[in-house]
Amino acid sequence: QVQLLESGGGLVQPGGSLRLSCAASGSIFSINAMGWYRQAPGKQRELVAVITRGGSTNYADSVKGRFTISRDGAKNMVYLQMNSLKPEDTADYYCNADSLSRRYWGRGTQVTVSS
């Protein structure tokens, strides 16, 4: 079993930055990849960024060049550094962890980008 807890969301002005954190606990040895998803009001949940245990990353086109996902294995933490934020980045952001057999989700943290 894996538990995920997000933090770092909040209200930020356009052009600003936030760093989201995801703390993983439980059977973390089983995790192959972790990622961030977001769900904006009225929209489906979409992949934002993913990082594998080996460190390879992938990003949604909408956030490439602005967001950076990273992982600190020693601390069992995954981060999403979000720069140059836009109003369209407003969403609930969810931490995800994938094992070979299961997907785990945090409860989300809200990011609002507004002037």
Residues 40-46 have a mean pLDDT of 94
pLDDT at 74 (0 to 100): 85
Q: How far apart are CA 10 and CA 19, in angstroms?
A: 10
pLDDT of residue 11: 98
User: Which H, E and C letters describe 24-53, residue by residue?
Assistant: EEECHHHCCEEEEEEECCCCCCEEEEEEEC
pLDDT digits 0-9 by tens, 49-66: 999 988 999 999 999 999
Give residue-wise pLDDT tens across range 4-29: 999 999 999 999 999 999 999 999 88
Residue with tokens 């140059």: 84
